């Protein structure tokens, strides 16, 4: 031990750790770096380790030494890893600390937050806090079987939410709920509503609340705004015990330039590219990681591993993947091409592939999602066949085209039929998740209900139709909080979503529709087992653009259960509208968005329709239907044994005059 009370030990960070870190293959850096409570020679204290290869001095400062930059210096390891470390006896859980770093370059010196801290002060304070991750998990039942709940052939209806604005306590200065308070109400709500998973906007510590967490600095700490790491563990635990999976948004694409963070960490561009054409993001005014640096890749992959390992999360949605893949992303003033002269970011591609290989190699019962908005091929294909290795990709094309179509007055929709049907042409090119996310209800875009045309009744009917169509369409499902009861106002992170609307019957109707949709969806293998295979889907008729009606079949894996979806995107009620089907007998009308209980006009088919032995649409039978205005119908048929097809195979499509 030196005169400042620092003891260097060999048992925490080893030479092997340093070697793996330098070559970019250490993926549990959180077990070694940062602040760790431990005993050394019988003395309790804290071991600190931080990466600062271009520093000439690194010390730990805090209340315990009156923030004296000279009191507790760390020692630079002699393995060329650039890691500084040391053990300070007597420190305990809850101690606030920072790193003082003096660089070898330009007399640069600064106080930094610990990049590997498990807990941090509430912003705008930025001190790190010595903490442990001890917790007695009670979610064994979920963890044992979660491979079934997170698999590609499982139902997946995700409730995307922002923790700070889901519900607020108005009586207490409009404060947000804590993690522990959320654990009381959120799991029960999601379970009752039939959601399978929740996806939180980033919970990793971030300095600016208005960034919603997308300007991340604490890649190993849940934000302290709502409680401790154990409090967040408790929330995840309670969700799992209620049968709800937990996904987190995760941002490895960029980080904010706050001086106490990662930027210019040791007086050099350590985490970010030095050249602003690769290291600065013009849209978000933030820094971009240097994916070509081994240690940076290890840092980011360790962060992804951390949330799976220590917090039991079921998957990560990787934000802004497109900005990582293209060197010219949002760069109108030129960019640095790759070594072959192209615009693809080869280093980022390598990182993403490695990330997914490591995560699925260690946690094969989880999922990795890509928010990728371009036509990049193979995002959700395995890396050994040239893909990026994600489990699923957000279907941004479906979202954009569908919302463009739905925003049109129904009288004009027939001229935009392709916007509605185009997604079916590429539905199986990736493992798609259909998203109606937070991005679609902010920055002046308005709420989903507000995007719909017509009077209030038509707006809500359109919203029911949109949500029903999403559940019928191939792909997993996600929508942002507030859509389940037709929030009118654009989402604001400073206040609760509009729970008071549930006092009104039209909004209660939407709420019940979403609840029934979720439970129906989960009960019907035809709607989820073959989301990513064309043998689970069959066109009936997409050609009736004049009347804006489409119909299609979803099939279970054994082909024995059929769900027919019929969508009418006009306010016209159609009588005796004929749809071809492959099976005779009764087709049960199992869900109707126009039912009175949902706020509709109660146009329908009395619970079922018997198929006529008259061929149509290339099928041997047909159904004569009443199709409600701005409505979607779901019919179910269990396939019976083969039967003789009637000889009379002539029928004209019966359509009422437009």
320: left (phi over 0), alpha (psi -120 to 50) or beta: left
Q: Are residues 486 and 370 in the same domain?
A: no
Confirm whether 326 is domain-assigned: yes
Distance CA 409, CA 403 (A): 12
Quickly list H helices, 23-79: none
Tens of pLDDT, residues 158-177: 999 999 999 999 999 999 99
Q: Residue 220 sits in a domain of what CATH number? A: 3.20.20.80
Q: Are residues 216 and 123 in the same domain?
A: no
Structure tokens given for 165: 């604005």
What pLDDT score does 654 carry?
46
Angle at 307 between CA 302 and CA 308, to 5 degrees: 95
Confirm whether 452 is domain-assigned: no
Q: Are residues 333 and 469 in the same domain?
A: no
Q: Are residues 291 and 345 in the same domain?
A: yes
Q: Are residues 516 and 613 in the same domain?
A: yes
Contact 212, 225 (CB under 8 A): no
Structure tokens given for 399: 């979202």
Residue 214: CB partners within 8 Å, gap ≥ 6?
201, 202, 206, 249, 251, 284, 319
Distance CA 98, CA 112 (A): 6
Q: Residue 621 sits in a domain of what CATH number? A: 2.60.40.1180
What pLDDT score does 332 carry?
84
Structural element, H or E, at residue 84:
strand 83-89
Distance CA 56, CA 613 (A): 86
Residue ending a domain, choose from 341, 360, 394: 394
How confident is the chain (658 residues) per 10-residue block, as mean pLDDT? 55 91 98 96 96 98 97 96 96 98 96 98 96 98 97 98 97 97 98 98 96 96 98 98 98 96 97 93 94 98 98 98 95 90 96 98 98 96 97 97 97 97 97 97 95 97 98 98 97 97 98 98 98 97 97 96 98 97 96 98 96 96 98 93 51 42
Distance CA 547, CA 541 (A): 12
Tokens 């039929």 identify what position? 417
The Cα-based distances of 402 to 127, 408, 419 in angstroms read 46, 10, 6
Q: Exposed e or buried b for every residue in 141-173, given b needs 16+ CB within 10 A?
A: ebeeebeebbebebbbbbbbbbbbbbbbeeeee
Structural element, H or E, at residue 505:
helix 505-523
Contact 536, 474 (CB under 8 A): yes
Q: How far is CA 640 from the centre of its chain?
A: 40
Total tally of structural domains belonging to the chain:
3
Confirm whether 152 is domain-assigned: no
Cis peptide before 408 (omega within 30 of 0): no
Confirm whether 94 is domain-assigned: yes
Closest-CA residue to 32 (of 75, 78, 84)? 84
What pLDDT score does 334 carry?
84
Tens of pLDDT, residues 536-571: 999 999 999 999 999 999 999 999 999 999 999 999
| Residues spanned by the domain of 373 | 157-379+386-394
Quickly list H helices, 117-217: 140-149, 179-193
Q: Are residues 182 and 121 in the same domain?
A: no
**At 388, phi and psi to the nearest 5?**
-85, -15
What pLDDT score does 10 carry?
55
Distance CA 35, CA 20 (A): 20
Tens of pLDDT, residues 420-430: 999 999 999 99
549-555 and 157-161: which strand pairing? unpaired
Structure tokens given for 547: 């009347």
Residue ending a domain, choose from 85, 109, 129: 129
Quickly list H helices, 331-382: 346-362
Q: What is the DSSP letter of 644?
A: P
Q: In the annotation, is 384 catalytic? A: no
Confirm whether 447 is domain-assigned: no
Confirm whether 449 is domain-assigned: no
95, 231, 295, 371: which one is catalytic?
A: 371
Q: Are residues 108 and 242 in the same domain?
A: no
Q: Are residues 246 and 182 in the same domain?
A: yes
Q: Residue 114 sits in a domain of what CATH number? A: 2.60.40.10
Contact 632, 469 (CB under 8 A): yes
85, 319, 372, 516: which one is catalytic?
A: 319
Q: Are residues 269 and 307 in the same domain?
A: yes
Q: Are residues 122 and 176 in the same domain?
A: no
Q: Are residues 203 and 113 in the same domain?
A: no
What pLDDT score does 658 carry?
34
Residue ending a domain, choose from 363, 394, 425: 394
What pLDDT score does 639 carry?
85
Distance CA 482, CA 495 (A): 12
Distance CA 345, CA 335 (A): 11
Q: How many other CB atoms are there within 10 angstroms of residue 554's CB atom? A: 25
Q: Are residues 39 and 166 in the same domain?
A: no
Q: Tell me the three state secondary structure of residue 435.
A: strand
Structure tokens given for 73: 């210096």
657: left (phi over 0), alpha (psi -120 to 50) or beta: beta
Distance CA 118, CA 290 (A): 23
Q: In the annotation, is 371 catalytic? A: yes
């Amino acid at each position: 031990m030196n005169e400042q009370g620092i003891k260097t030990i060999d048992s925490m960070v080893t030479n092997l750790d340093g070697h793996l870190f330098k070559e970019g293959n250490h993926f549990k850096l959180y077990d070694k770096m940062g602040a760790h409570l431990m005993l050394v020679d019988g003395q309790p204290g804290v071991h600190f380790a931080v990466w600062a290869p271009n520093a000439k001095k690194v010390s730990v400062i805090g209340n315990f030494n009156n923030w004296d930059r000279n009191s507790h210096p760390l020692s630079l390891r002699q393995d060329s890893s650039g890691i500084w470390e040391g053990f300070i006896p007597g420190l305990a859980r809850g101690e606030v600390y920072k790193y003082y770093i003096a660089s070898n370059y330009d007399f640069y010196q600064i106080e930094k937050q610990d990049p590997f801290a498990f807990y941090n002060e509430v912003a705008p304070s930025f001190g790190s806090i010595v903490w442990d991750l001890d917790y007695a998990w009670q979610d064994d039942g979920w963890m044992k079987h979660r491979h079934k709940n997170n698999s590609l052939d499982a139902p997946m209806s995700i409730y995307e939410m922002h923790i700070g604005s889901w519900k607020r306590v108005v009586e207490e200065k409009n404060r947000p709920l804590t993690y522990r308070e959320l654990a009381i109400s959120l799991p029960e709500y999601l379970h009752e509503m039939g959601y399978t998973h929740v996806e939180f906007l980033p919970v990793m510590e971030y300095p600016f609340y208005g960034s919603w967490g997308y300007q991340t600095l604490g890649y190993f700490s849940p934000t302290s705004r709502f409680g401790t790491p154990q409090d967040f563990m408790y929330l995840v635990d309670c969700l799992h015990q209620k049968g709800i999976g937990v996904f987190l948004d995760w941002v490895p694409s960029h980080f904010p330039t706050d001086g106490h963070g990662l930027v210019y960490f040791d007086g050099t561009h350590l985490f970010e590219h030095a050249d602003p054409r690769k290291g600065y993001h013009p849209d978000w005014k933030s820094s971009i990681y240097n994916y070509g640096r081994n240690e940076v890749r290890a840092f980011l992959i360790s962060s992804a591993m951390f949330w799976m390992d220590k917090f039991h999360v079921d998957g990560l949605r990787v934000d802004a993947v497109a900005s990582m893949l293209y060197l010219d992303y949002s760069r109108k003033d030129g960019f640095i091409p790759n070594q072959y002269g192209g615009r693809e970011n080869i280093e980022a591609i390598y990182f993403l592939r490695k990330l997914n290989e490591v995560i699925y190699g260690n946690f094969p019962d989880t999922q990795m999602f890509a928010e990728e908005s371009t036509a990049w091929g193979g995002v959700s294909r395995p890396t050994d066949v040239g893909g990026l290795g994600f489990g699923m990709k957000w279907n941004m094309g479906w979202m954009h085209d569908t919302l463009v179509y739905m925003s049109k007055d129904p009288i004009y929709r027939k001229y935009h039929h392709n916007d509605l049907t185009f997604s079916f042409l590429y539905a199986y090119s990736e493992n798609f998740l259909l998203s109606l996310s937070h991005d679609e209800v902010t920055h002046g875009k308005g709420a989903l209900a507000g995007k719909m045309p017509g009077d209030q009744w038509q707006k809500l009917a359109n919203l029911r139709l949109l949500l029903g169509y999403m559940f019928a369409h191939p792909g997993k499902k996600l929508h942002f909080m507030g859509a389940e009861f037709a929030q009118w106002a654009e989402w604001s992170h400073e206040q609760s979503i509009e729970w008071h609307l549930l006092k009104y019957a039209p909004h209660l109707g939407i709420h019940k529709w979403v609840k029934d949709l979720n439970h129906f969806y989960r009960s019907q293998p035809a709607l989820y087992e073959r989301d990513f295979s064309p043998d689970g889907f069959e066109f009936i008729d997409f050609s009736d653009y004049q009347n804006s009606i489409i119909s299609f079949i979803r099939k279970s894996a054994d082909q024995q259960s059929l769900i027919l979806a019929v969508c009418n995107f006009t306010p016209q009620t159609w009588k005796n509208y004929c749809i071809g089907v492959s099976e005779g007998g009764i087709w049960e009308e199992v869900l109707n968005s126009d039912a009175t209980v949902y706020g509709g006009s109660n146009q329908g088919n009395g619970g079922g329709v018997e198929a006529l032995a008259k061929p149509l649409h290339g099928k041997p039978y047909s159904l004569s239907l009443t199709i409600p205005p701005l409505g979607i119908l779901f019919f179910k048929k269990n396939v019976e044994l083969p039967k003789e097809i009637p000889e009379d195979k002539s029928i004209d499509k019966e359509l009422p005059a437009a």
